[in-house]
Structure 1
Amino acid sequence: VAAQWRTAPEDTVMFEIAADSFCHQMVRSIVALSVEIGRGNGEPDDVPAILDEEDRNAARGAAPARGLFLWRVDY
């Protein structure tokens, strides 16, 4: 898995992620967790332990679908 946050024109923030496969709502869960930590509700060092739990509730839910879109699929 490779992922990165970056800024774009017009105060847009983009999250890009690439992987061989994804679980249902996986990207939305990662985005929600990242946003919560960015807001000060947790520490970046907490992320590995949260991901190791393999529990969506530990990941603080899923980000709203609005604004998220599939960019490309490679086979």
Structure 2
Amino acid sequence: MWDGLPDEARERLALALADVCADPFAVTDPYGEDDGIMRTLVTGDLLVVIYLGHQTKTLHIFQIDYLG
């Protein structure tokens, strides 16, 4: 999916993911029930579902939807 995004969308997503790494709860919303693990990132025409690995200090992208 990443390679199929327009350049502007990839840039916005890269910057937004850097923000998620710095403070995931400030820039994301709960995905369904707020379990503190599954989060939604919305940046303009992108909707991204993220899994936060708190113990491993990682994030995993489960889904990218490009709405443009």
Shorter-chain TM-score range: 0.3 to 0.5
Q: Larger strand proportion, structure 1 or 2?
A: 2
Compute the TM-score of the two structures, normalised by the length of structure 2: 0.37
Q: Larger helix proportion, structure 1 or 2?
A: 2
Query: Which structure's CA Rg is the greater one?
Result: 1
Compute the TM-score of the two structures, normalised by the length of structure 1: 0.34
* Bigger relative CO (Cα 8 Å, ≥ 6 apart): 1
